[in-house]
Structure 1
Amino acid sequence: MKPTELKVKASYINQYQRHFPLINKDTIINPEDIQKEGSIIHLVEPNGKFIAKGYYGKQNKGLGWVLSDKQHENIDFSFFKKKISNAIDKRKAFFQDENTNAFRIFNGEGDGIGGITIDYYDGYYVINWYSEGAYSFKETVIDVLDEIGEYKAIYEKKRFDTKGKYINDDDFVKGERGEFPIIVKENGMNYAVYLNDGAMVGIFLDQRNVRKIIRDKYAKGKNVLNTFSYTGAFSVAAALGGAKKTTSVDLAKRSKSKTIEQFSANGIDFEEQDIIVMDVFDYFKYANRKNLVFDLVILDPPSFARSKKRTFSTAKDYPSLIKDTIAITGKGGIIVASTNNASFSMKKFKGFIDKGFKDSKTKYKILEEFSLPSDFQVDRNFPQGNYLKVVILEKLSH
């Protein structure tokens, strides 16, 4: 079947010639010509001259992804095998690290195929499909993993429901079903993960370096508050780093049992820690009333969250989140400010932080910054792919 030709608007030709990987609707003259998810498409100049080939896979970011600038390259088993094998070769150091056995082995467009990521958890693969188009390559990707070598099992996450909801059917694909939770290691810390239980597995691998630095450098002797704490992974790192006490706050009811489980996996007495199920913004008010002061506060909110009482959006509400945090952070205290929102840059994120401090008439200094770790390979022609922004800062004085 002949690929559909998508004509690129003149002002965007140069962008695609420079290997920009995302196919955006507003860059295309005839987007209505594409019909079938997973179909191969050619990007061409208005005069029909070939620019690049890719596939149609509609997701929140765009219409699909560029795969090759070679007109006659086949998007087949050997294409996928080359890309996935190269990606795994780049992670050799991770496979050899005795203290870490959970990491990303394929990071979408960063490794040459947008819309698909593959994570590795101690011998188990988890494939994330971000569009129906990406999912159409399932058999090929699994054939490649079969050929590359041994694994315990393959699980998958389908993240392409039109209503933005996770498609929650059986995530098991093939191999030997795991007995969950499995305990994985990250820099010598233990984390309980569930590969068969909805969209989340229990740990965000992209924060690995931040957890390590909290444990190794910032937690000792500190009274630590972990907000939007999910399964308490940062709290575990802080406790293992010698924190005096950790307080984990999250609105989700199951966060409490999940956090207890993570502490227990590391031999930490969870009864010595505070685990609170509460809206974070209500907790700030409570902490203020009780004159609670923390030496280290971790802020890693979701990009967008809705509770009964309020909606939170990082782009709009981060300055006020910083302001609330400053009020309960002691002088010389450390704030770990994080976001995974891809829609703004590190520069803009620092602007949100600065606004929060200015509104509080408080001085601060930035100690260090983090973006994605090396296993989350980023395409240099697509800086938006480097979505993680973490700024560690010290509160100086009012």
Structure 2
Amino acid sequence: MKKVLLNEKNIKKFQRGYPLIQEIDLKNRADLERIGEWLTFYSQDNQYLGTGYLGRQNKGVGWIITHDPDRKINQSFFAHLFRQALAKRQPLFHSEETTAFRVFNGEGDGLGGVTVDIYNGFAVLSWYNDSIYYHQKVILAALLAELPEISGVYEKIRFASPDLPESQLIWGEPAPEPLIIRENGIHFATYLNDGLMTGIFLDQRDVRNLLIDGLASGRTVLNTFSYTGAFSVAAAMGGAAETTSVDLAKRSLPKTREQFSVNGLDPDDHRIIVMDVFEFFNYAVRKQLMYDVVILDPPSFSRNRKNTFSVTKNYSELTENAVKLITKDGVLIASTNAANLPMERFMVMVEQGIRKAQRSYKQIGRHRLPFDFALSKDFKEGNYLKVLVYRVQ
């Protein structure tokens, strides 16, 4: 294997087991051209730091995947990683209530740059850089050897590649459209070959379960940035008196109606509004609309003709606007998947927004990634999901 030198400045983090390589860590940035090669990483005083690869993605430029200098990176290596990962998820494989979950979570399961999700007997492989995608065939073969019961495999290309479709079936039979999955006993319509999205974010399973388990019972619920309305459906199935879903995307209307329908709920009994969320806040204030539960789960960054929103800059303002619509002793669920925003900083922003709205509050819950989104103890940034639950007085 080619030897790659890392700069001394940050060498201690790699000695402690940190797996992600940034461009600034490289002694020779020309090494970035070694797409698809397995590489050994060393300090400048020739200390072995690990074996892995270089490939640009949104998190960095490479991953260390083993600290054994004699380990061969082949199908057997990948099969071993998949076998270990599947063993951790056995409770979900045997669940009748949940049929969609993550079975392999990148660096959390030992291989940064790849994730695998199960959707009711079908697998979705996501590739995050072109270097790991170079080994697609051998990784797919290892996955199929460990999951022989799978019906079909789709892949998602989450890196810039003009020559590859965003999504395609790469093995087995095509999934029905929609593919109905279950989560905590609720049905959701998913589409495995509709771009990068499938219709549901699996990492929010535990938060949706709060709504099913009584948090929404008898209450009015406002679900902002609602996407396909999964939180709204969970609230309705949990006994909500009324739900309102707001999202700027036009397709959110038919997608949300479908999610209600597959659960035997009449979508006409629920409000589904296609509108910019900040515009809706202004509209709701004018109309004196109030809600018992408000859910905030915005994208990390978005832009439309009137507004630019960034979680790291604007979440406090978003919270202030939302809290103005919460009834006395109502509940705020504030969520973000921004990996670059630490939990403590996020909490400060949310609580600043509540205070700006001149309301008092008590934190009644906080949630991170569910257990199937396995984490590396040496890579805290991998725990990107942050959810805070407040009672607002």
Instruction: Determine the structure 2 residue equivalent to 1:225.
Output: 222
Paired residue for 2:113, among 115, 127, 135? Answer: 115
Count of residue pairs the alignment pairs up: 392
Contact 2:156 2:166 in 1 (8 A): no
In 2, distance between residues paired with 1:342 and 1:57? 19
In 2, distance between residues paired with 1:346 and 1:145? 34
Structure 1: which 5+ residue stretches go unaligned? Answer: none
For 2:219, give the aligned amino acid: K
In 2, distance between residues paired with 1:287 and 1:394? 20
Instruction: Determine the structure 1 residue equivalent to 2:184.
Output: 187
Instruction: Determine the structure 1 residue equivalent to 2:363.
Output: 366
1:160 aligns with 2:164: no
Instruction: Determine the structure 2 residue equivalent to 1:303.
Output: 300
Instruction: Determine the structure 2 residue equivalent to 1:126.
Output: 124
SS at 2:117's partner residue?
Answer: strand
Instruction: Determine the structure 2 residue equivalent to 1:275.
Output: 272
Question: What pairs with 1:24-35 in structure 2 (closer than 5 Å)?
Answer: 24-35=22-33
1:166, CA displacement in angstroms?
Answer: 12
For 1:224, give the aligned amino acid: V
Query: Per-residue CA shift, 1:132-171, capped at 9, x if unaligned?
Result: 0121121011111221212110000000017xx9964551
In 2, distance between residues paired with 1:132 and 1:117? 14
In 2, distance between residues paired with 1:217 and 1:46? 57
| TM-score when normalising by structure 2 | 0.97
**4+ residue segments displaced more than 6 Å:** none
1:99, CA displacement in angstroms?
Answer: 0.5
SS at 1:26's partner residue?
Answer: helix
SS at 2:372's partner residue?
Answer: coil
In 2, distance between residues paired with 1:137 and 1:380? 26
Instruction: Determine the structure 2 residue equivalent to 1:91.
Output: 89
1:377 aligns with 2:374: yes
Contact 2:157 2:167 in 1 (8 A): no
SS at 2:55's partner residue?
Answer: strand
Instruction: Determine the structure 1 residue equivalent to 2:256.
Output: 259
In 2, distance between residues paired with 1:232 and 1:374? 23
Instruction: Determine the structure 1 residue equivalent to 2:101.
Output: 103
Contact 2:156 2:167 in 1 (8 A): no
1:36, CA displacement in angstroms?
Answer: 2.6
Residues 63-72 or 354-363, more deviating: 354-363
For 1:207, give the aligned amino acid: Q
1:234 aligns with 2:231: yes
Query: Per-residue CA shift, 1:23-79, capped at 9, x if unaligned?
Result: 111122222233132211221111222211111111011111001111121111111
1:150 aligns with 2:188: no
SS at 1:128's partner residue?
Answer: strand
Contact 2:178 2:191 in 1 (8 A): yes
1:295, CA displacement in angstroms?
Answer: 0.3
Instruction: Determine the structure 1 residue equivalent to 2:284.
Output: 287
Instruction: Determine the structure 2 residue equivalent to 1:323.
Output: 320
For 2:392, give the aligned amino acid: K
For 1:296, give the aligned amino acid: V
Contact 1:159 1:166 in 2 (8 A): no
In 1, distance between residues paired with 2:34 and 2:12? 27
Percent sequence identity over aligned pairs: 44
For 1:95, give the aligned amino acid: F
In 1, distance between residues paired with 2:96 and 2:290? 38
In 2, distance between residues paired with 1:365 and 1:289? 27
| TM-score when normalising by structure 1 | 0.96
Question: What pairs with 1:167-182 in structure 2 (closer than 5 Å)?
Answer: 168-182=165-179
SS at 1:104's partner residue?
Answer: strand
Contact 2:224 2:296 in 1 (8 A): yes
Paired residue for 1:138, among 136, 139, 146? Answer: 136
- Relative to structure 1, the CA distance from residue 170 to residue 24 in structure 2 (aligned partners, 3 Å threshold; closer, same or farther) is closer
SS at 1:237's partner residue?
Answer: helix
Instruction: Determine the structure 2 residue equivalent to 1:19.
Output: 17
1:11, CA displacement in angstroms?
Answer: 2.9
SS at 2:205's partner residue?
Answer: helix
Instruction: Determine the structure 1 residue equivalent to 2:5.
Output: 7
Query: Per-residue CA shift, 1:307-342, capped at 9, x if unaligned?
Result: 111111000000000000111111101010000000
Contact 1:222 1:296 in 2 (8 A): yes
- Relative to structure 1, the CA distance from residue 166 to residue 210 in structure 2 (aligned partners, 3 Å threshold; closer, same or farther) is farther
Instruction: Determine the structure 2 residue equivalent to 1:79.
Output: 77
Structure 2: which 5+ residue stretches go unaligned? Answer: none
SS at 1:34's partner residue?
Answer: helix
- Relative to structure 1, the CA distance from residue 27 to residue 36 in structure 2 (aligned partners, 3 Å threshold; closer, same or farther) is closer
Contact 1:105 1:118 in 2 (8 A): yes
For 2:95, give the aligned amino acid: D
Contact 1:125 1:151 in 2 (8 A): yes
In 1, distance between residues paired with 2:193 and 2:302? 24
In 2, distance between residues paired with 1:190 and 1:33? 47
Instruction: Determine the structure 2 residue equivalent to 1:42.
Output: 40
